Structure 1
Amino acid sequence: MPSNSILPEPVKNKYSQEIIFIRNCAKSNQIKISDHCNRKISKRKIRLSDVYESIRNGVVMEVQDFERDVKVLFQDCANKPPNFFVAVAIKSTFGLCVTVYLPDPEKWVLESSDQWRRKKVNV
């Protein structure tokens, strides 16, 4: 499992195969880009090469498993500070980049020049 992750150890351990699968898909050009994602990339003026680079080498921010597909969230690794996140769904033989989005300051905090973290929710 690549070390560039901010996932808690139990989550890292549970989803290590999925993360490795997606990174390998990116390295072998098995990442497909959804129409929605293409529109967001264009609207936000994000280079497709930066999206692929972030999937291959970006920090793993979260694993989302509350919908039908498990999705892994990667942080932009081409810009300092990072300016977008990439969400990739796991399909049987490929990864599907479902969206790219900009960090919402209401939900995310830039802890250093190169690391976003989700804000803690006070309950």
Structure 2
Amino acid sequence: MKKLILLFAPILLTGCIMDYTDYRMSVINNSQARIAVEVSNDTTKRTNNEIAYYISESIAPSDTSLISKSGENAWLEYIKQSKSKSLYIYVFSTDSLAKYQRGGADMSYLPGNKKYLKRLEYSLDELTATNWQIMYK
């Protein structure tokens, strides 16, 4: 019985250690305002995240933020699941997000009602060409 346990112990330990996250995407804020971003593979999909989350994850002027997705090639799989084979990046002013939050709005309302500064659309080829760096000016 001891041999059986020792045989499976390395497999169990290896399985627990290998947790992949895809960090290939980054957003570079070349504007003068603090921004927050929402990334989606569908223009009709809405998020359940709270506005406070986006404010806490905001990107300062002249700063860069890595945008991660759980999974080894998660961003590639996410794009493949898209009807248009594209990613949509919604850019919000954190000042505006704070006002919407005080007014009782939630993130599921904002993109559908065009309450963003800009919506960017990228195909896989475009993301590859930019080395997965999204620049907001």
TM-score, normalised on structure 2?
Answer: 0.28
Larger Rg: 2
TM-score, normalised on structure 1?
Answer: 0.30
